[in-house]
Structure 1
């Protein structure tokens, strides 16, 4: 199958399964935690970059990536649309075979605020920390844990997590950033945006930097039509940011090196979502 056909097939047939490829498509919206300062939000910072330049979040959330599984069984109860975290901010679709889940939640986990690379207790959850489990809960009623739906599940419990998600709009998959970086460009199946997205130009610019880095990569740019009854992915009609009327970027991305300036002062006009705080 072609990549777009494959994405649509995974979306259409996705269901609770311990096989990530059979569960649906794995979506990630661009965030502050990764290499947006370098114009490359499609990858995490390398350890060397963090050691040399100490970019924002290198010491907090740069070691994890948040994603969620989408399939045709997950729809908004009110309007029937496909559930996405943001209609304005685009992102990437991960290759499930080239990435590694560290843990997963059956709802929004707020994992930016969690220890253990997003798979532990919230930093201010004294009771959880006192239990010494290094987990968001211990799945044990004797420990006073009743909200078992908020517990994290290991990467081998995907099917269980997805069954529990029936009570929640979102799920959250916390990925290890090392395989994502090490397996580029093959760790990414596609870039995506939703038609009418306010931050369309950011997605197109990001796709441009990716193609400049990996010109031979078979990684398409696709539209995600959230109102489609099935097969929501189609190839984008845009081949460049200019075709979408995007302003030319005058940002000198290299000036971010050696500085801990905020993303908003270095990349003007670019709005990335705060990842994992869903």
Structure 2
């Protein structure tokens, strides 16, 4: 099925309010996320505007906890100042979620979020999971095991996906910890270039990274203000529906806002694509 056909299929499920056309209805959410997934922009208009501002699917896999809500940073993330997400796009595919989890939440791209939501800063991007819990600078700096050779790519003169790939493969053991990250905090003039290189680096690895997600670090936010977070959807893969419904219900009870549950089908290979579906039967709140 072509991209156009997929988007038209999602669009056929739209249900706009006749009284307020600005309301984004739940079926529309699946269409919008699909559109973002297929948008392979190098940047969002210039080199100082990284592609994550306007394209791709910024998602975080979450686990149930009795100590904090799924949309809040964990105590560890609050202490470090950074929260881990993944970035899914047709040119940044992976076949499983972090830690083998089954559900989570999706944030709007910054430029497409409602105006009353927080703009959560993207701090850095790693082409592959980077064990950021053991890195300095909110998870974007050097790894404790490689303090000299795992600093940010810019500080080590690594400017391209090819350069990153060579550095990554320069050791056999613990390559994930040894890798450098593309830091978005070190000035803005070339952030678009560096973020796109983090996407291209995955493509250089082909199937080698397919079962391992990439990792973006976002600035940690204060817990307790869920209504201000740019949560576009709660999602699930096979086995995660009950937890996604729990999160939807919990979020509604604390904000009065209905955030839809979306079924995510991850790509099975480099030649297949993710799918995002809204199903009325999946919703715990209507």
- How far does the alpha carbon of each residue in 1:195-252 deviate from its partner, in whole angstroms, 9 at most, with x for none? x31x4433322221111111234x21110022585561111422339xxxxxxxxxxx
Alignment correspondent of 1:79: none
User: Residue 209 of structure 1 aligns to a residue in which SS?
Assistant: helix
> Cα distance 1:88–1:118, how it changes in 2: closer, same or farther (>3 A)?
closer
- The one-character-per-residue Cα deviations of 1:112-143 (angstroms, maximum 9, x if unpaired) are 111111011112334459xxxx64783248xx
Q: How does 1:94-109 map to 2 (within 5 A)?
A: 94-97=107-110, 98-109=119-130
Q: TM-score, normalised to structure 2's length?
A: 0.62
Query: Cα distance 1:121–1:73, how it changes in 2: closer, same or farther (>3 A)?
Result: closer
Judged with a 3 Å threshold, the aligned counterparts in structure 2 of structure 1 residues 148 and 58 are, in CA distance, closer, same or farther, namely closer
Partner of 1:24: 56
Match of 2:39 in 1: 13
Corresponding residue for residue 226 of structure 1: 266
1:188 corresponds to 2:188: no
Q: Please say if residues 15 and 23 of structure 1, whose CA atoms lie closer than 8 Å, have aligned partners that are also in contact.
A: yes
Describe how 1:119-268 pairs up with structure 2 within 5 A.
119-127=140-148, 135=152, 138-140=155-157, 147=167, 150-155=179-184, 156=191, 157-166=194-203, 167=205, 168-169=209-210, 170-178=213-221, 184-194=227-237, 196-197=238-239, 199-217=240-258, 219-226=259-266, 232-236=275-279, 237-240=281-284
Query: Hey, what's the Cα distance between the residues in 1 that align with 2:130 and 2:136?
Result: 12
Counterpart of 2:60 in 1: which secondary structure? strand
Q: What's 1:85 paired with?
A: 98
Following superposition, the deviation at residue 148 of structure 1 comes to 5.8
Cα–Cα, structure 1 residues 230 and 140, in superposed 2: closer, same or farther, change >3 Å? closer
Check the 8 A contact 1:20/1:96 in 2, yes or no.
yes
The runs of 5 or more residues in structure 1 that have no matched partner are 46-55, 77-81, 242-278
Question: What is the DSSP-based 3-state SS (H/G/I as helix, E as strand, rest coil) of the residue aligned with 1:28?
Answer: strand
Match of 1:115 among 116, 136, 144: 136
User: 2:245–2:284: 8 Å Cα contact kept in structure 1?
Assistant: yes
2:55·2:109 contact (CA, 8 Å) conserved in 1? no
- 2:7 alignment counterpart: none
Alignment RMSD: 3.4
State the distance in 2 between where 1:100 and 1:58 align. 14
The answer to whether the Cα contact below 8 Å between 1:88 and 1:200 also exists between their aligned partners in 2 is: no
Change over 3 Å in CA distance of 1:179–1:232 after alignment to 2 = farther
Does the 8 A contact of 1:208 with 1:240 survive in 2?
yes
Q: Secondary structure at the match of 1:69?
A: strand
Alpha-carbon distance, 1:60 to partner: 4.2
Label 1:21 to 1:233 Cα distance change in 2 as closer, same or farther (>3 A): farther
Name the SS for the 1:73 alignment partner: coil
TM-score by length of 1: 0.64
**Unaligned regions of 5+ residues in structure 2, if any?**
1-23, 44-49, 111-118, 159-163, 170-178, 185-190
Which residue of structure 2 aligns with residue 68 of structure 1? Answer: 86
